[in-house]
Structure 1
Amino acid sequence: MSHVCHTPHTGAPVRVAVVPDSFKGSARAVDVAGAMARGVREAFVGSDTPVEVDTLPFADGGEGTLDALLGAWGTTARTADTTDALGRPVRARYGLSPDGRTGVIEAAEANGLPLLADIPLRPLEATTRGIGPLAAALLDAGVEEILLCIGGSATTDGGVGLLTALGAQPLDADGAQLPDGGGALTALERLDLSGLDPRARTVRWRIACDVTNPLVGPAGAAMVFGPQKGATAADVRTLDTGLNRLADVLARDTGTDVRERAGMGAAGGLPAPLVALLDAETVPGSRLVAEVLGAERLLARADLVLTGEGSFDGQSLSGKVVDSVRRLTPGNTPVVVIAGSVSVPPERLRDAGITAAFSIARGPASLERMREEVLPAITETALHCCRLFAHRYA
């Protein structure tokens, strides 16, 4: 698929859509979008044709999604007292749409690996319980839908901690409540839902999920992701056994075998009980964000689209933000990528329908220096890119 520039429309403004991801570790999507927009406007200085810039900070459902949605909505983060994956007190953020109908949780605000960077990991005890107070805060706010973004977790407890925080009780064969963590699931006999917050059943749950790993087995949550969360070989076996036991209980009590569903292994099995018990939907993260933000409508009216991310590589064209923007943009509209680094060969750009890709790197520099200069460099790169486009209207 090739891109051909729109024919200039005399007297009408040029519409440029700026739809970037964050530059991970360097700049939030909302700041990247602002930097690109400044470059676009500077590029059209002196042109007889006005430019209109639509900015839409974007994300793929993982890290940065909360900030992207808040930036697009024009709302500010709310906070709640909760706990991290090992039960230590933390203050975590969540978001609410302007109309109050949709809430968003970035689960890693409560169960993320970065929160445990100062202590040894304990993969058998790590719990999703801390996500519960964030969900409860949204239920208290009266939302109709909860968007749950689940990347970056430190947990492999099959989401049982979250259910526990909402009032469920995981019980062993003697009727005693199990302790937190995936290691305890090997003794799970049943999930007592009599105390579950009834609002958890009536709200719509949508889970941003970009992996297809099953819950258990060689490609499952414990085997693939457990070692990243500190699990030894023995821990992995224990966690996988526990998740199998959870799947057995869910299948027995609901008739839904979550082992047969792709993506249930994401975030240590977090989606599994939400799908089986609460009718949660799993949705590719970038598609969910695009739908919530109305990205397709914005891209449909653009004459030029700028997108980007920190590292534009082969994975970028497989469901990430750049790929989603490209797919949502009409085929005759040029799409330009601005990134910290670019390692996609020209022929693949052409095949993917990307018009061009530019790195913001100005030359050899330390990572720290590049981080300090990232926003001015993005603005400068966007300016040079758009000057090639703006000269047609001068």
Structure 2
Amino acid sequence: MKILIAPDSFKSSATSLEIATWLEIGIKSVIPRCETILTPIGDGGEGSLDAALHAGFTSTEYVVTGPTSKPVRARLGMKGDVALVELAQASGLSQLPSKVLAPMQATSYGTGELILHALDQGAQTVILAIGGSACTDAGAGALQALGAHIRDSSGHELPAGGAALAHVATLDVSTLDSRIASTHFILASDVTNPLIGEAGAAEVYSPQKGADSDQVKELAAAITHFASLAGSEHINAPGAGAAGGFGYMALTFLAAVHQSGIDTFLSIVDFESKLAGVDYVITGEGKFDSQSMRGKTPFGIYCVATASQIPVILVCGQAELNSSEDLRPGFKEIYTLNSFQPDISQCITNPRPIVEKIGQSIALSLRR
């Protein structure tokens, strides 16, 4: 029997490689001779760098500006002249001191610094994995790090954060790093929201980053003002609203090409070639719900594997699907951590024994 194990990370709980390894341990405790292929996957969110590293990228760690303007350690992935910049490494929710949200002041500056480090390493292509952002600054911080000058009416450089965008008077991009023009940027994200409007970056995502209703309105107005100076060509482009508007910056000033995050990473790990001779595929993520069916890792893998007539098993922390989202029969089986351990806090803080037990259950079912 040959099983390909290709989960995403379980956010705030375990990496994709950890989940894959624990499933393998459980399976082989029941079927010792089972052949397993571990292929950690990302879809542009947190954990994407780990998936790339398992696929042959190497990492270098740098000290960059964190989301609250304090120094943080962040890694950059390289393979040949291709760089992977994971925004969450520098500007993500995971980098907030003591996990205290900062919706108005959080900056993407450190992600711009990572891009510069990628260029210093000779990157000709930069993949921007932009999930997990703590910022709603329309990528202005990253743009400043890349050499742009964003000034207020007094001629002072704009301070960090989305709220400050309300005070932009001038934007000078003539000083951007010259290497940007000859670099190919890929915006790896499955978020299709525009920059502004009811489905915009501030309206939809800033509440997840700690903004209350008044702050959402303030951020939306500030981003709208910034876009009036930066240009309207890409404000409604799919992905412009991703990562608090970072997508808009990348499309506008880096000439980035928007690609499906899961498709990008399936290509990075050469997923289709790994399906040869495989009997079953196991995939998973922390929470499987309606969002999962819009380009997230499990659904992307489900589509590719079933096209090759390979049954797919889903493992997740919990599954929330209503009767109109009847994808359940498509998976051979769905295993949830909270069905093995009803205490959700245990599922999050100590998932290993539960995941190993699920691996055993999968093996017992397949052996029968």
Q: Same fold by TM-score, threshold 0.5 exceeded? A: yes
Map 1:215-226; keep pairs closer than 5 Å.
215-226=195-206
The answer to whether the Cα contact below 8 Å between 2:5 and 2:38 also exists between their aligned partners in 1 is yes
How far off its partner does 1:19 sit? 0.7
State the alpha-carbon separation in 1 of the partners of residues 99 and 294 from structure 2: 34
1:33 — aligned with what?
20
State the alpha-carbon separation in 2 of the partners of residues 153 and 19 from structure 1: 24
How far off its partner does 1:364 sit? 4.9
Matched AA of 2:265: V
How far off its partner does 1:42 sit? 3.7
Q: Secondary structure at the match of 1:260?
A: coil
Map 1:136-175; keep pairs closer than 5 Å.
136-172=116-152, 175=155
1:275 — aligned with what?
251
Deviates more, 1:294-303 or 1:211-220: 294-303
Q: Secondary structure at the match of 2:55?
A: helix
The answer to whether the Cα contact below 8 Å between 1:21 and 1:58 also exists between their aligned partners in 2 is yes
State the alpha-carbon separation in 2 of the partners of residues 304 and 363 from structure 1: 22
How far off its partner does 1:84 sit? 1.4
1:310 — aligned with what?
286
2:60 — aligned with what?
78
- RMSD over equivalenced CA pairs, Å: 2.7
State the alpha-carbon separation in 2 of the partners of residues 120 and 306 from structure 1: 35
TM-score between the two structures when normalised by the length of structure 1: 0.83
Consecutive unaligned residues of structure 2, counting only runs of 5 or more, are none
How far off its partner does 1:164 sit? 0.8
1:323 — aligned with what?
299
Question: Could you tell me which of 36, 44, 48 is aligned with 1:61?
Answer: 44
Deviations 1:154-211 (A, max 9, x none): 2221111111111111234565433332233234344322321111222211122222
Residues 44 and 23 (structure 1 numbering): CA distance in 2 closer, same or farther, change over 3 Å? same
Matched, 1:339 2:316: yes
State the alpha-carbon separation in 2 of the partners of residues 374 and 125 from structure 1: 34
Q: Secondary structure at the match of 1:258?
A: coil
State the alpha-carbon separation in 2 of the partners of residues 225 and 264 from structure 1: 12
Matched AA of 1:271: G
Residues 309 and 157 (structure 1 numbering): CA distance in 2 closer, same or farther, change over 3 Å? closer
Consecutive unaligned residues of structure 1, counting only runs of 5 or more, are 1-13
2:78 — aligned with what?
96
Residues 339 and 80 (structure 1 numbering): CA distance in 2 closer, same or farther, change over 3 Å? same
Question: Could you tell me which of 338, 348, 360 is aligned with 2:326?
Answer: 348
The answer to whether the Cα contact below 8 Å between 1:63 and 1:106 also exists between their aligned partners in 2 is yes
How far off its partner does 1:257 sit? 1.2
The answer to whether the Cα contact below 8 Å between 2:107 and 2:141 also exists between their aligned partners in 1 is yes
2:269 — aligned with what?
293
Identity, % of aligned positions:
35
Query: Which stretches of structure 1, 4 residues or longer, exceed 6 Å deviation after superposition?
Result: none
Question: Could you tell me which of 230, 237, 242 is aligned with 2:217?
Answer: 237
How far off its partner does 1:225 sit? 2.3
Matched AA of 1:293: V
How far off its partner does 1:41 sit? 3.3
TM-score between the two structures when normalised by the length of structure 2: 0.88
State the alpha-carbon separation in 1 of the partners of residues 202 and 153 from structure 2: 24
State the alpha-carbon separation in 1 of the partners of residues 25 and 200 from structure 2: 45
Give 1 or 2 for the bigger CA radius of gyration. 1
Question: Could you tell me which of 336, 361, 364 is aligned with 1:384?
Answer: 361
* Aligned pairs, number: 366
The answer to whether the Cα contact below 8 Å between 2:43 and 2:189 also exists between their aligned partners in 1 is no
The answer to whether the Cα contact below 8 Å between 2:187 and 2:250 also exists between their aligned partners in 1 is no
